Chains A and B, each alone.
Chain A
Amino acid sequence: MRPYLMKGHERPLTFLKYNREGDLLFSCAKDHTPTVWFADNGERLGTYNGHKGAVWCCDVSRDSRRLITGSADRSAKLWDVKSGTPLFTFEFDSPARSVDFAVGDKLAVITTDPFMEQTSAIHVKTISNDPDEQTAESALIITGPPRVRINGAVWGPLNRTIISAGEDATIRIWDSETGKMLNESSKETGHSKTITSLSMSEDGSHFLTGSSDKSAKLWDSRTLTILKTYETISPVNAVAMSPILEHVVIGGGQAAIDVTTTHHRAGNFDAKFFHKVLQEEIGCVKGHFGPINALAINPDGRSFSSGGEDGYIRLHHFDRDYFNIKM
């Protein structure tokens, strides 16, 4: 494969997201402008100008009309995907770390960081069809444990639950209506360090987490049992699952702080493919000059993109033999 290198961001990438049809790719970075690209040839379509801080996360509605972004400028913004105009701003007292539209796009979950006296919190917002009727009111606020950052929150099956994971290496399942905690992963069997990323499967039955403890784990989203564990040799920053093959991709690399003192080949800045069931490594894709912070697989399963600390997005279209790999 000859990947497309997209150098639209001046700072490290933080998040990548394809829309449902897989023709648009949204990217967030520590510079202040989320960007949208055509996912086939990597051409830049537009930028969403308005945030005043690093943008940590984004999500796009099913009809590709609305974009929601969470930023370190203590706000989350709703955008019109086509024109790039901001439609609404949710203001918070601390940086917004993760955002996710519920199935049906009527609700969105936004998590905020612990900041000063604030504890981390999960906010559920109602999203109106008409942006003029949008209000900042939260349908539900769940306060997390003090001083522990939530790095990812996604909706569980049928929007009944919210699954959150964060710095305390614990995954929690919350009731999305009452805010009651329903389940919590155990410290003994789960991750031992910060969970950096969380990715839901297409059907919502299971999800994948990546952690600084150099592993990624596959969980059942109802019972919170560990189904599989994928071990690697460097901290995991990003995870993704293939929608068509039994493959998972995990990316990461040595922490950016250690990069200058190690050989670039020892950095392991590659995206590693694992067989989802057999937990065996299928292969790795090299190319980044820094740790991989974001990964996304196109919903058609034929291409994937990775975003690195080096500020590049690399858009790979799989070769034909990728689809014929036998384990």
Chain B
Amino acid sequence: MGIDTMQRPGSATQKPPNKVRWGELEEDDGEDLDFLLPPPVVTGPDENGIKKITEYKFNDDGNKVKITTTIRIRKLAKARLTKAAIERRSWPKFGDAVHEDVGARLTMVSTEEILLERPRPPGSKEDTKPLGDISATPGAVLMVCRTCGKKGDHWTSKCPYKDLAAPPESFSDKPPTADTATSGTSKSGTYIHPGQRDGAKQLGSEMRPRRNEENSVRVTNLSEDTREPDLLELFRTFGAVSRVYVAVDQKTGMSRGFGFVNFVNKEDAERAINKLNGYGYDNLILRVEWATPRAN
């Protein structure tokens, strides 16, 4: 029988390894048989800073339990501190901090890795150039702004008139018949989100992140370590990429093993599918295909 506990020290202060948690304390009602137990063994810390403590205890049922505690000791980068700062480090707590609950956990380390997100991936400067060229050529129908209807000048999300004008009727999301239907239902008492009510400010475009469905390529059988930058690295060679997305499980933070890549040009997407479908990536064979639009 064994209980393995993994401790990750979150702060700079290292918890003393031999500190017994209350849950492990034995009640004093039974006879003390501790002398029967083997002595605790401490191994490490090794070169990775992993320290293992093996202890033996009797649990409530009188069974012998082996408790292995694994601790990683992490050395923080040495900071240069002034004398005054070192002295301040030992200042006693004051104010509300004096009676601070140990369990209050006012300071926590984020479970999420936060990155400085670059506005455009490094090195893709050249890739964005042809995009502008396309817009300059006459007859380029790629860029049509759904807000102001201008062709070839900007995308909907970049529309300078986004805040000023409500989208004209012809570009609204729903056909006029549907609009009358919703106003009809509003009279009958069905709940309509304030942002979608008649006369409400047109916030609809901000409510839903509009996804570019064009030239979308689905990539499946990705390894769990694959992140968006890796995918971008892989697909950038085929042409300008406008979006990379890797599905991540909300709860575990692990990759769900598939993602989407949007290309600016359809030909690039086609080439990518031809080349990368069946390509070995991270010990797995990728499956790359056209993304089918979601049915709704």
Q: Do A and B bind each other?
A: yes
Q: How large is the interface on A (under 10, 10 to 19, 20 to 34, 35 or more residues)?
A: 35 or more
Q: Are A262 and B118 in contact (CB under 8 A)?
A: no
How far is it, in angstroms, between the C-alpha of A160 and the C-alpha of B107 when the chains are bound? Answer: 41
How far is it, in angstroms, between the C-alpha of A175 and the C-alpha of B203 when the chains are bound? Answer: 47
Quick check: is A243 within 8 A (CB to CB) of the other chain? no
How far is it, in angstroms, between the C-alpha of A83 and the C-alpha of B92 when the chains are bound? Answer: 8
How far is it, in angstroms, between the C-alpha of A319 and the C-alpha of B109 when the chains are bound? Answer: 15
Q: In chain A between 26 and 56, which residues have their CB closer than 8 angstroms to a CB of chain B?
A: 33, 35, 37-38, 40-49
How far is it, in angstroms, between the C-alpha of A45 and the C-alpha of B92 when the chains are bound? Answer: 8
A interface footprint on B103-126 (CB within 8 Å = 1, 0 otherwise): 000111110111111110010000
Quick check: is B38 within 8 A (CB to CB) of the other chain? no
Which of these, A21, A48, A49, A261, contacts B81 with CB under 8 Å? A21
Quick check: is B84 within 8 A (CB to CB) of the other chain? yes
Q: In chain A between 272 and 327, which residues have their CB closer than 8 angstroms to a CB of chain B?
A: 273, 281-287, 314, 316, 318-319, 322, 326
Q: Are A49 and B206 in contact (CB under 8 A)?
A: no
| Shortest CB distance A270–B (Å) | 8
Q: Are A322 and B106 in contact (CB under 8 A)?
A: no
Residues of A within 8 Å of B164, CB to CB, are none
Q: In chain B between 71 and 121, which residues have their CB closer than 8 angstroms to a CB of chain A?
A: 76, 79, 81-82, 84-85, 88-89, 91, 93-98, 100, 106-110, 112-119
How far is it, in angstroms, between the C-alpha of A3 and the C-alpha of B106 when the chains are bound? Answer: 13
**Chain B: interface secondary structure?**
loop
Residues of B within 8 Å of A263, CB to CB, are 206-209
How far is it, in angstroms, between the C-alpha of A41 and the C-alpha of B116 when the chains are bound? Answer: 20
What's the tally of chain B residues with a CB closer than 8 Å to chain A?
A: 40
Given contacts A262-B206, A286-B117, A316-B114, contact A49 B84 (CB under 8 A): no
**Which of B12, B119, B195 has the most CB atoms of chain A within a 10 A radius of its CB?**
B119
How far is it, in angstroms, between the C-alpha of A196 and the C-alpha of B93 when the chains are bound? Answer: 33
Quick check: is A141 within 8 A (CB to CB) of the other chain? no
Which of these, B106, B114, B195, B206, contacts A1 with CB under 8 Å? B114
Which B residues have a C-beta under 8 Å from some C-beta of A?
Answer: 11-13, 76, 79, 81-82, 84-85, 88-89, 91, 93-98, 100, 106-110, 112-119, 122, 194-195, 203, 206-209
Which A residues have a C-beta under 8 Å from some C-beta of B?
Answer: 1-8, 21, 23-24, 33, 35, 37-38, 40-49, 63-64, 82-84, 261-263, 265-266, 273, 281-287, 314, 316, 318-319, 322, 326
- Residue contacts A-B, CB under 8 angstroms, 29 given: A2-B113, A4-B107, A4-B109, A7-B106, A21-B81, A21-B85, A23-B85, A35-B95, A37-B107, A41-B12, A44-B106, A45-B93, A46-B96, A46-B98, A47-B97, A48-B95, A49-B95, A82-B88, A82-B94, A84-B95, A261-B194, A261-B203, A263-B209, A281-B119, A283-B116, A284-B116, A285-B115, A319-B116, A326-B122
